[in-house]
Each structure stands twice: as structure tokens, then as C-alpha cells.
Structure 1
Amino acid sequence: LAYARARTGDLAGAQALIAATPLDCYLCVRERARIAELAGDRAAADRWSAEARRQGPSLPFAFAEWGQMLMARGDIAGAIDFYEQAIERGPRWADPQKYWGDALMAQGDEAGAIRKYRAAAERAPRWGALHLAWGRALEAQGRRDQAREKYTEAARMDLSAADRAEVVRRLGAWRQR
């Protein structure tokens, strides 16, 4: 609930809610980090993320979340390092594979991104946002027919409103060609 409040812009409410949670709660300190990051308090986000990784050194979630924060800060190499650590701790979890693919796309490495998206799809074959990202990577390589297939697959899956709009737009562009 605290993180949801932060995402809707109620940072004060989010911080008040999360402050009432125990400090020895892995999920709670992870959320403290994410809320601090949304609030622009990087020092607190750094501190809470480190605490979450300390509390759950064998769990992948805080490592992947820290990678996402680093990615948002523009530290792609640092993000990739943490995605790799998340994969080591949770090899069956698709999210860090997808995030690593996103990081490779940001570096212009479409082939590397496609490899990571393929690995993520082995773990989560019905993840719409993954297929959308995979389609973008294929399109960036000029593999338009394969990209269209990925967009079509994504259209049959659950997507956020923004992702659904992008899929509709991308597929619509093909119909106009």
C-alpha cells in the first residue's frame, strides 16, 4: 500500500505508512528503498537497498530492484551487474533476464537483448511486456516480420494500458504499409 501511494504521488502518505513497518522485514526495507528512490532521496534508497540485500543475500528481488534503480539513474553497467546477481539467486525468475535485455537495448546491443528476452520467455512465456520489448529489439535489427509476430503475440497477452496502446500503434503501422 505504501508503494502504491508513492506511485500515485502521495509521497508523504507513503513514507508515513512505510515508517510504521519493522526494520527486520525484507519486503518492508525493499519498499523503503523503492519509495525513497521515487522521492528522489538517493542516499536513503542506497541505504535501504543495501539493507535489503543484507537481509536476504540469497534472494533475487532486492538485487533486481536495485538494478532497476541503477538503470533509471543511467548506470547501465551497474544495473547489468545486479541483474546478473539476481539471476544467480533466482535462475527461474524471468524478470532480471528481461531487465538485462532492456539494459542491453539501452546500450544498442539488440542481439544481446534478444538473447536475454528469449531466456526470459523460457521462464515466462505469456509475459506481454516481454514480447513487446522483444519485438522492439527485432524491429531495431530490421527483422520486421519477426517483430510483427512478437507484437501480435503480445497483443494476445496481458499488457498495461500504455503497452497495449504501443502494440496497437505498432501493429497499426504495419497495416498502413
Structure 2
Amino acid sequence: MTASRPSAVIGDIPARAAHYIDHGGEDWHRFVGPRGCALVGPPGSGKSQIAADYARRWAQQRGDVAWIDATTRDGILAGLVRMAGYLDVVVVDPVTTAGRVRDTLHTSERPTLLVFDDATNAEIIDPFLPYEGGGVSVLYTTTRRHFVQQSGIADHAVPVHGFNDEDSLRY
């Protein structure tokens, strides 16, 4: 891969909601890095929209983005296998390919954002995360508070409470 290659977006970043309220001024972005940051809140609170907005900005300003459905192990594997083509990783079976993608990302300096949307279980994600280092940053969305404890990123959990009265009237 060359540093001048245009940014790739792998997976389907959700479209911006018609009445999306920009959360760009919040300082939670500082937590996004190799260890990961989790946006935690109830269903419908806007976690995925916030992550999608961040992912779109990342792709425009920094590098590659992979949007991965993290609800199930199969969704995670499918997302990582989709990345294989962009990384020139030979596709074999899903588990082997996901491991090769992880290893490639670990040694790459290219800025890459992995978004694990609707993460439910750290034990099924952790084996496929690049080791700290390289150019990878990780962002999770989850409704499960125990996920951040399980994944060891409790100090990088950002609560998403949904709309306050003013925002709900604007929406």
C-alpha cells in the first residue's frame, strides 16, 4: 500500500439522519485510539449516528474506515474478510483471513479506523483486533455496559444519553 492511495471505506456506514444533531464539539474523540473507545447508550440514543459522522470525517481527513457489524461473530468475520481485498490479503477461510487482516493492520502505518457497530461481546472481537501499534484506531458502539468492562476500556467509555429537551425539539 502506498501512503498516497485514496481513503477506502469498507462496509456500509449508515447514512446521516435527516435531522442529525452534530456532536462534533464533544471531546470524546481523544479516546479513539489503538485500545478503543466505546459509545455506550440505550437503543436509539444516536451512538451509530455519532460513530458514522466520525467515520465519514476520518475517511475525508485521515485514512481508511472499516464499518463492521459486531452483533455476531459471523458479522465481525464478514467485515474483516471484506477488508482483505483492500489490504492485499489472500482470502482463505473466514477465521484465517480475519487473522491475516489483523496481522496486516498491526504492521501498517496507514491510519485506519475500525468501527465495531453494536458490539455485544468482547470475547468474540478481541482475537481479531490488531495489537496496539500501527495506524489502527478502534471505535465501538454498544448498548451493553458490561462490554466496556469485559474489553478493558472502561476508562474510554463515553455515555450517549440521547436527546436533551432542546435537541428533541430541534429534531
Asked whether the two chains share a fold, i.e. TM above 0.5, the reply is: no
Larger radius of gyration: 1
Task: Considering Cα pairs closer than 8 Å and 6+ residues apart, tell me whether 1 or 2 has the greater RCO.
Answer: 2
Higher helix share: 1
Higher strand share: 2
TM-score, scaled relative to structure 2: 0.29
